[in-house]
Amino acid sequence: MRETGNKYNLYQSILRSNELKEDALTFLEAVKNLPDRATVHEQTAARKNKILEVLGGTEEDWSDWKWQLKSRIKDSNILASIIGLSDLERKRIDKVSQHYRWAISPYYLSLVDDDYENSPIYRQAVPDLKELDPGGSMDPMSEALTSPAPCVTRRYPDRMIINVTNQCAMYCRHCQRRRNIGEIDQHACMEDIKMALDYVAQHKEIRDVLVTGGDALLLSNQMLKFILAELHSIPHVEIKRIGTRTPVTMPQRITPGVVDIIRQYPPIFINTQFNHPLEVTQEAKLACDRLIDAGAVLGNQAVLLRGINDKPFIIRKLCQELLKIRVRPYYIFHAKSVRGTGHFQTSVEQGMRIMESLRGHTSGLAIPTYIVNAPGGLGKIPLSPNYLLRMKNDEVVLRTWEGKIVKVENRPIL
Ligand code: SF4
């Protein structure tokens, strides 16, 4: 009798595991739509050589973040000589640049593959005529109304932001803070930064400070050290956070000097922004390894972008790739109605479909929280597919990740 039971259990287990395998195979089949890594790698190497040739740089220059920064591509003729754009494409870029500036680090440009028009890298980096479409607002989160001191944004009870610069390694076309990018690169002045630090010191309820911009790691080492040391010396500041996209757009910035500073002022949480699996390169991994080895905890805040990552298999692959380099997918932001970025917006339904495609289908560690930012600076709203169908006095009706309906006991509070 026991033997029959065991055989039945084994049979059921095999059936179930075949069912699960089918689910995994569907994803692996979809991933084949991504450009092949070996081909991309070859194209990246060729592109890098071309960029060095056009800019007159050396291998040594390539690894130097200051060279990367000063050599950012912001002229359509130079871009054309690297990518091979038509005159019409060049003119379109020039037209948009009369309204919004652009700059791409040589490193990030090297990731553009030969099919550049469809490249998720190219689309995040190079101006598009659609940016001139009307609509949207420059400040949908009313950040200007949540700044009680220079450089400060405060939207929550126990935490706040210090905006230290408007400079970035690249000006992402989907940037949700593009109103801050302006016409020129500008770090906040010392006087304003000191006032922001004073604000933190005087508000004992602030236990968590995010240093961001722009990109906080575009500050000089000296300034970064000053800010982190000051925050570290305030007894009620329990954790410090840094917002930076440099591991994605200019990983050369993660130098031994920066790493030494990070190591000195724990605990530091660093959030970056990988939006596509093709951004998870060896260079990006090395940058993340260095930060983690210095004791930082790394998270990713992706933005859901139409035509770039708004497919379930792309986000799932991205999150899995991030775990491999020890970066925890933290948030996926619904793109806001920022003027000039409307063509990147997706529907909330699509965001929910993507979230539904993650839970259960991959590790919980690979699942970020989907966030819609409330207008008017009212904060983040987490959205999740509905797994709770009904709650009664003695029973809760739930939906599993596969859509099966189950009931569990709802124990009364004794
Ligand atoms: S790095 Fe961040 S702040 Fe800078 S342009 Fe890109 S999205 Fe905007």
Query: Both 169 and 200 in a single domain?
Result: yes
Burial of 325 (0-12, 13-18, 19+ CB in 10 A): buried
Nearest residue by C-alpha to atom 3 in ligand 1: 214
Same domain (yes/no): 211, 357: yes
Q: Does the beta carbon of 216 lie inside 6 Å of ligand 1? A: no
**What separation in Å is there between the alpha carbon of 173 and the centre of ligand 1?**
8
Number of H helices, E strands in the chain: 16, 12
Domain presence at residue 138: no
214 lines ligand 1 (CB under 6 A): yes
State which of 68, 166, 168 you would mutate to test the pocket of ligand 1, scoring each by most atoms of that ligand within 8 A of its C-beta. Answer: 168
Q: Where does 117-220 have alpha helices with state H?
A: 120-125, 178-181, 190-202
What is the rounded CA–CA span in Å between residue 303 and residue 275? 6
Query: The CATH number of the domain where 273 resides is what?
Result: 3.20.20.70
Query: Alpha-carbon torsion 216, 222, 227, 231, what sign?
Result: positive
One-letter amino acid of 323: L
Cβ(175) to ligand 1 under 6 A? yes
Q: What's the number of CA atoms in the CB half-sphere (13 Å) around residue 151? A: 28
Whether residue 106 is found in the same domain as residue 214: no
- Per-residue pLDDT at 331: 98
Same domain, 328 and 193: yes
Q: Which of 66, 94, 128 is the last residue of a domain?
A: 128
7 part of a folded domain: no
Please indicate whether residue 172, judged by its CB atom, sits closer than 6 Å to ligand 1: yes
The alpha carbon of 292 and the centre of ligand 1 are apart by a number of angstroms equal to: 22
Reduce the DSSP state of residue 269 to 3 states and report it: strand
For a pocket test of ligand 1, which of 171, 248, 344 has the largest count of ligand atoms closer than 8 A to its C-beta? 171
Pair 156, 289 in one domain: yes
- Ligand 1 close to Cβ of residue 230 (< 6 A): no
Could you identify the atom of ligand 1 that is nearest to the CA of residue 178?
8
Strand-pairing partners, residue 331, are 301, 369
Residue 62 lies in a domain: yes
208 shares its domain with 83: no
How far is the C-alpha of 167 from the C-alpha of 310, rounded, in Å?
27
Say which residues have a Cβ less than 8 Å from residue 74's Cβ, sequence separation at least 6. Answer: 97, 101, 102, 103, 104
Residue 250 lies in a domain: yes
> Which atom of ligand 1 is nearest the CA belonging to 169?
1
Residues 151 and 214 in one domain: yes
pLDDT at 413: 66
Q: Kindly give the distance from the C-alpha atom of residue 62 to the centroid of ligand 1, in angstroms, as a whole number.
A: 22
Q: Where are the alpha helices (DSSP H) in 115-165?
A: 120-125
Task: Please give the distance, rounded to the nearest whole angstrom, from the Cα atom of residue 273 to the centre of ligand 1.
Answer: 9
Range of the domain at 407: 386-414
Say whether both 67 and 206 belong to one domain: no
Assigned domain for 314 exists: yes
What atom of ligand 1 comes closest to residue 244's alpha carbon?
Answer: 1
CA 385 – ligand 1 centroid, Å: 29
Return the residue whose CA atom lies nearest to atom 7 of ligand 1: 175
171 CB near ligand 1 (under 6 Å): yes
Q: What is the pLDDT of residue 15?
A: 94
The domain boundary, picked from 80, 97, 128, lies at 128
pTM (predicted TM-score): 0.96
Q: Is residue 163 part of a domain?
A: yes
Closest ligand 1 atom, residue 174 Cα = 7
Q: Which residues contact 83 (CB under 8 A, 6 or more apart)?
A: 109, 112, 116, 122
User: In angstroms, rounded to a whole number, what is the distance separating the alpha carbons of residues 412 and 393?
Assistant: 7
User: Does 215 sit in the ligand 1 pocket, CB within 6 Å?
Assistant: yes
For ligand 1, whether the C-beta of 177 sits within 6 Å is: yes
CA of 13 to the centre of ligand 1 (A): 48
Residue 3 lies in a domain: no
Residue 253 and residue 191 in one domain: yes
Among the candidates 128, 154, 188, a domain finishes at 128
Q: Is 217 in the pocket of ligand 1 (CB under 6 A)?
A: no
* For ligand 1, atom 8: residue with the closest CA: 175
pLDDT in tens, the chain (414 residues): 567 778 889 999 999 999 999 999 999 999 999 988 888 899 999 999 999 999 999 999 999 999 999 999 999 999 999 999 999 999 999 999 999 999 999 999 999 999 998 999 999 999 999 999 998 888 877 777 889 999 999 999 999 999 999 999 999 999 998 888 877 889 999 999 999 999 999 999 999 999 999 999 999 999 999 999 999 999 999 999 999 999 999 999 999 999 999 999 999 999 999 999 999 999 999 999 999 999 999 999 999 999 999 999 999 999 999 999 999 999 999 999 899 999 999 999 999 999 999 999 999 999 999 999 998 888 999 999 999 999 988 999 999 999 999 999 998 766
Q: How far is the CA of 244 from the centre of ligand 1 (A)?
A: 8
**CA 168 / ligand 1 centre spacing (Å):** 6
Pick the atom of ligand 1 nearest to 181's CA.
Answer: 5
How many structural domains is the chain composed of? 3
CB 231 within 8 A of CB 197: yes
Compute how many other C-beta atoms are within 10 angstroms of the C-beta atom of residue 90. 16
292: left (phi over 0), alpha (psi -120 to 50) or beta: alpha
Q: What are phi and psi of 393, to 5 degrees?
A: -60, -45
- One domain, residues 406 and 261: no
Examine the domain organization and report whether 326 and 413 are in the same domain.
Answer: no
d(CA 153, CA 151): 7
State if residue 305 touches ligand 1 by the CB under 6 angstroms criterion. no
Task: Specify if 196 maps to a domain.
Answer: yes
72 and 111 in a single domain? The answer is yes
